Amino acid sequence: MSENYTDDSIRTLDWKEHIRLRPGMYIGKLGDGTSHDDGIYVLLKEIIDNSIDEFVMDNGKTIEINITDSLVSIRDFGRGMPLGKVNDCVSKINTGAKYDSSIFKKSVGLNGVGSKAVNALSSYFKAQSFREGMTKAVEYSQGELVLDSPVESSDARPGTLITFIPDEEIFDKYHYIHEYVEEMLWNYVFLNNGLTINFNGQKFFAKNGLLDLLERNMAGAETMMYPIIHIREEDFECAFTHSNNTYNEEYYSFVNGQHTTQGGTHQNAFREAIVKTIREFYNKDYDTADIRNSLVAAISIKIQEPVFESQTKTKLGSLNMEPNGRSVRNFIGDIIKRHLDNYLHINPETAEALHRKIQMSEKERKDMANIKKLARESVKKASLHNKKLRDCRIHFNTNHEKRLETTLFITEGDSASGSITKSRDVQTQAVFSLKGKPLNSYGLSKKIVYENEEFNLLQAAINIDETIENLRYNNIVVATDADVDGMHIRLLLLTFFLQFYPDLVRSGHVYILQTPLFRVRNKKETIYCYSEEERQNALRKIGSNAEITRFKGLGEISPDEFRFFIGPSMRLDPVILKRDVSINEILEYYMGKNTPERQQFIINNLRLEEDLKEEVLKEA
């Protein structure tokens, strides 16, 4: 083989070729828009970040965003790119004003890569700058310049307009889920007081920063054990309380406006400071878990030249706060100590409520200690990794480049789990096999998680008992039959997650696997259809005499066929928990007492199922 290693073996890629060849280096995973961290949302964020940087520098208070099908347009009213450098700013790596810290002091995008990545990964990309009564536009296709318009006069307001269409060659059959976009935009306005974002005619604006974020995300004061404590000083802001309907910690953390979903130095510093301050205030060495159990917090810090662990900027790795050498840990610790200690002295009712919460957590922890010990022994006896769980080799809580692809399929029955196990990618896909229908956990205490074998083994497999930070799989996929029994199992599993681990759902980790309802084929072609409409289209394409198979359950799908459904073209429905809907209300409706409304919901869906079967039988 060595004789083939010559000068011709060495190749130098230009900027756009490298981005298109290795997109994961620049935007993380690709995806089809089903997950909130898929690449098309990173593209959107990279452009918005530039507009946010203009706002932070007091240039333009409004951003206009429109998404129509695949076409995205983002218009800000900042200074506009210098007209002679518009082409360079969007097509030359390591080009931009953000290297000049006197202009962009605390910017998110510091690497000069973001807009270039969007350009290279778009089938159509246009950048237009409006500045000093003039305008300049350039257009590209897959990073190749196709139109370089001359500078012209314009009476439009100063600013920048970016329009792009993500390339289907990179993002196969993608679609934007507007709930994900809206969540991103809400975070922008929570973090930037005075900013208005208009998205497809909807206005996003907030007055009270992270206080508004927490109030919205907690869906009502009844979920809080005491009023939200809101602290602001210099370039740090936080808001926090303890929830009375969750068991784990939950964080919304940001650096320079970037949502650091994996936390980092600033989040760790906050957690340490909270524990230390509370221990000193009550003069008792409470266990860390008792203090932080059910803590819900939002944290934001602005740093000069932050160092993230990847281009997607989901975890802060920086240690220094300012050129004077103050560490993030000391900076946040000092602020929390002063403000929280003062607040608890001034507000004795809150101090008492917080104290009761810690004491209650301490009692529950001690009561649960023996149960957890028995639960861990039960996991060992059940030989988790051999019987219930067919594990994969890469996990989400590692730094592997494929960590975002890690998936756990939760299914029921030997035949279904067997087919998925034989079809899966053993590197990134694991299978957990249920034994029958899970217990309805609505209204039960967390004690049931450890006393019920199925729940105990499931939470141990996912590794979410102590904190979501230890999560072993990025995607938790419920894979059940497309019938009434499968729907019931699906609801029971979602009840389990919402009841005990709602942050797993809120963080966008839980999905429903779509599997085909029909197989339509003739001697030349096979088409799998996920809906009645797709079945009709398939018949029109390959002829009405085609053979039609109605899949009754996952067990009927062979391993060879399953490879199509859990591979690159896998279809997932995200479980999205809307912020204005109470978890208790959802669980009461679906899993509480048999209400007339739920009975009618079930009857209506059963009728649809029977009508569909009848229609297929007629045509067969």
DSSP string, 548-605: EEE--SGGGS-HHHHHHHSSTT--EEE----TTS-HHHHHHHHHSS--HHHHHHHHHH
338, 277 in Cβ contact below 8 A?
no
Residue 281: alpha-carbon gap to chain centroid: 36
Lowest mean pLDDT: which of 290-304, 318-332, 459-473? 318-332
Gap between the Cα atoms of 129 and 146, Å rounded = 17
Structure tokens at 81: 């790119």
Residue found by looking up tokens 């129509």 in the block = 68
Q: Does one domain contain both 257 and 195?
A: no
Asked which of 204, 224, 256 is the last residue of a domain, the reply is: 204
In the structure, what pLDDT confidence band is assigned to residue 408 with cuts at 50, 70 and 90? very high
Tokens of 292: 């932080």
Number of Cβ atoms within 10 Å of the Cβ of 614: 9
Pair of tokens at residue 130: 């409006």
- Is there a domain that residue 592 lies in? no
Average confidence score pLDDT of the chain: 84
Q: Is pLDDT of 370 > 90?
A: no
> Do 465 and 479 touch, CB atoms closer than 8 A?
no
Q: What gap in Å lies between CA 388 and CA 374, rounded to an integer? A: 18
How are beta strands 429-434 and 389-390 bridged, if at all?
Answer: antiparallel
Asked if the model's pLDDT at residue 103 lies above 50, the reply is no
In whole angstroms, give the CA distance from residue 573 to residue 1: 47
| H, E, C per residue of 13-26 | CCHHHHHHHCCHHH
Indicate whether 236 and 319 sit together in one domain: yes
Helix (H) or strand (E) run with residue 135 in it: strand 134-141
Q: Which has more pLDDT, 263 or 342?
A: 342
- What are 480's two structure tokens? 């059940």
In a domain, 372, yes or no: no
Q: For position 278, what pLDDT does the model report? A: 96
C-alpha distance from residue 602 to each of 254, 437, 606, 609 (Å): 42, 18, 6, 11
Q: Examine residue 594 and state whether it is found in any structural domain, yes or no.
A: no
Q: Are residues 474 and 501 in the same domain?
A: yes
607 pLDDT more than 70: no
With a CB cutoff of 8 Å and minimum separation 6, the contacts of 142 are: 16, 20, 120, 122, 123, 167, 169
Tokens linked to 256: 């320079």
Task: Kindly state whether residues 355 and 340 are assigned to the same domain.
Answer: yes
Q: Identify whether residues 192 and 63 lie together within a single domain.
A: yes
Query: Between the ranges 256-270, 294-308, 326-340, 378-392, where is the mean pLDDT highest?
Result: 326-340
Average pLDDT, integer, range 512-522:
88
Statement to judge: residues 391 and 477 lie in one domain: yes
Tell me if 612 is assigned to some domain.
Answer: no
> How many domains does one find in the chain?
4
Q: Is residue 587 part of a domain?
A: no
> 323 and 263, same structural domain?
yes
Instruction: Tell me what the mean pLDDT of segment 220-244 comes to.
Output: 87
Give residue 102's pLDDT.
46
Task: Write the CATH number for 198.
Answer: 3.30.565.10
Quick one: how far is CA 480 from the chain centroid?
A: 23
In a domain, 41, yes or no: yes
106-126 pLDDT tens trace: 555 544 568 899 999 999 999
Reported as half-sphere exposure (CB side, CA atoms, 13 A), residue 256 has a value of 25
For residues 305 and 317, give the distance between their C-alpha atoms in angstroms, rounded to a whole number.
11
* Amino acid at position 86, single letter: V
Whether 222 and 269 share a structural domain: yes
- Give dist(CA 37, CA 21) in Å, integer: 20
pLDDT(386) > 70: no
- Higher pLDDT: 158 or 372? It is 158
**Residue 43 tokens, joined:** 């593209």
Boundaries of domain holding 533? 518-550
Residue 485 CB contacts under 8 Å (≥ 6 apart), including other chains: 437
User: What per-residue confidence (pLDDT) applies to 271?
Assistant: 94
In contact, 383 and 393? CB cutoff 8 Å: no
- The answer to whether residue 49 is domain-embedded is yes
Q: What share of the chain is helix, strand, coil (3-state, %, to 5)?
A: 40, 20, 35
pLDDT score of 620 more than 50 = no
Look at residue 323 in the predicted model and tell me its pLDDT.
44
CATH code at 409? 3.40.50.670
Geometric angle at alpha carbon 153, from 149 and 154, rounded to 5° = 100
CATH number at residue 247: 3.30.230.10
3-state secondary structure 362-428: HHHHHHHHHHHHHHHHHHHHCCCCCCCEECCCCCCCCCCCCHHHCEEEEEECHHHHHHHHHHCCCCC
Q: Which two tokens stand for residue 483?
A: 């019938």
Kindly report which listed range (2-16, 367-381, 457-471, 509-523) carries the lowest average pLDDT score. 2-16
Q: Clarify whether residues 114 and 223 are in a common domain.
A: no
Count of CB atoms situated within 10 Å of the CB of 512: 17
443 and 354 within one domain: no
> What value, to the nearest 5°, has the Cα angle with vertex 126 and ends 123 and 127?
145
Q: Is residue 76 part of a domain?
A: yes
How many CB atoms sit inside 10 A of residue 377's CB?
10
Residues 6 or more apart from 406 whose CB is under 8 A from it?
Answer: 392, 394, 395, 396, 428, 429, 430, 472, 473, 474, 475
**CA 465/CA 252 separation, integer angstroms:** 19
Same domain, 72 and 167: yes
Q: Which amino acid is at 247?
A: Y
pLDDT at 317 over 80: no
Which tokens is 17 given?
Answer: 């070729």
How does DSSP assign 321-334, residue by residue? SSTT--BHHHHHHH
Is the same domain home to 509 and 529? no
What is the C-alpha separation between 585 and 213, in angstroms, rounded? Answer: 21
Strand order in the sheet with 229-233: 229-233, 236-242, 295-301, 250-255, 258-259
- pLDDT value for 441: 87
| CB 250 within 8 Å of CB 503 | yes
Residue 510 confidence (pLDDT) above 80: yes
